[in-house]
């Protein structure tokens, strides 16, 4: 790590922090790879089946791709200039993550209300169902590791990124349930109601990402 990093940290603490940052980089590369596949499959399936929940799922994957890129920038700043110099990047990255969560919540709410007003539903999609099933354990792993690292290095930005993985996991669960219910029951409103189920979570975590409170106190 650069000599301008926090002087109060011991060599062992600096080494541990450096190892955590490198692990965070690996997690972000994994995120980019999986989210590319997930976004392509979910958006294509959502457009084909006219499914809001699948489109939200796919757009959440695109947001996670953007968030992963922002996080890699924030971590690169710390590797180059040290922990103190990463504080400005931390604030910017955290607020970008929060803004992306707000945008997704707005889209899901508007789309769900419109579909309920128009009384339009979705068709069942096997590709969307399969990618959602696979995403549940993948997002659980990513979220747990990112939250653990965020707590250790005190990063709101990484925690916001982890919460987007949590949200993606919940969206995966919602997709599985709504598609299964649509296939079994044929209820037109299930897709929209399922989409609205995660809006409160998006807003809550978006506000937390925007707050000035120190992460993981």
pTM, entire model: 0.72
The pLDDT value given to residue 95: 78
Q: Which residue has the higher pLDDT, 77 or 85?
A: 77
Q: What is the SS3 assignment for 124?
A: coil
Question: Tell me, what's the pLDDT at 4?
Answer: 47
**pLDDT computed for residue 86 by the predictor:** 54
11-210 homologous superfamily: Cation efflux protein transmembrane domain (1.20.1510.10)
Average pLDDT taken over every residue of the chain:
79
Q: Of 41-45, 112-116, 176-180, 206-210, which range is least confident? A: 206-210
In the chain, DSSP finds a helix count (H) and a strand count (E) of: 7, 0
pLDDT at 134: 95
84 or 64, greater pLDDT: 64
Domain spans of the chain, in order of start:
11-210
Reduce the secondary structure of 45-107 to three states and give it as a string. HHHHHCCHHHHHHHHHHHHHHHHHHHHHHHHHHHHHHCCHHHHHHHHHHHHHHHHHHHHHHHH
Nearest to 104 by CA among 168, 49, 48: 168
- DSSP, collapsed to helix, strand or coil, labels residue 197 as coil
**What number is the average pLDDT over the span 91-99?**
75
């Amino acid at each position: 790590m650069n000599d301008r990093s926090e002087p109060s940290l011991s060599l062992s603490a600096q080494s541990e922090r450096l190892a955590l940052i490198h692990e965070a980089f690996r997690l972000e590369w994994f995120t980019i790879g999986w989210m590319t596949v997930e976004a392509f499959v979910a958006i294509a399936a959502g457009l084909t089946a006219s499914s809001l929940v699948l489109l939200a799922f796919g757009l959440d994957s695109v947001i996670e791709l953007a968030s992963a890129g922002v996080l890699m920038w924030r971590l690169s700043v710390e590797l180059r200039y040290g922990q103190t110099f990463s504080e400005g990047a931390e604030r910017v990255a955290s607020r970008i993550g929060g803004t992306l969560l707000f945008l997704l919540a707005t889209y899901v709410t508007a789309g769900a209300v419109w579909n309920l007003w128009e009384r339009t539903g979705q068709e069942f999609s096997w590709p969307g169902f399969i990618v959602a099933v696979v995403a549940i354990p993948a997002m659980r792993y990513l979220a747990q590791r990112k939250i653990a690292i965020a707590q250790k290095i005190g990063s709101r930005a990484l925690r916001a990124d982890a919460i987007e993985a949590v949200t993606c996991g919940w969206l995966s669960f919602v997709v599985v349930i709504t598609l299964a219910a649509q296939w079994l029951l044929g209820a037109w409103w299930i897709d929209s109601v399922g989409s609205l189920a995660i809006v409160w979570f998006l807003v809550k975590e978006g506000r937390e990402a925007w707050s000035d409170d120190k992460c993981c106190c």
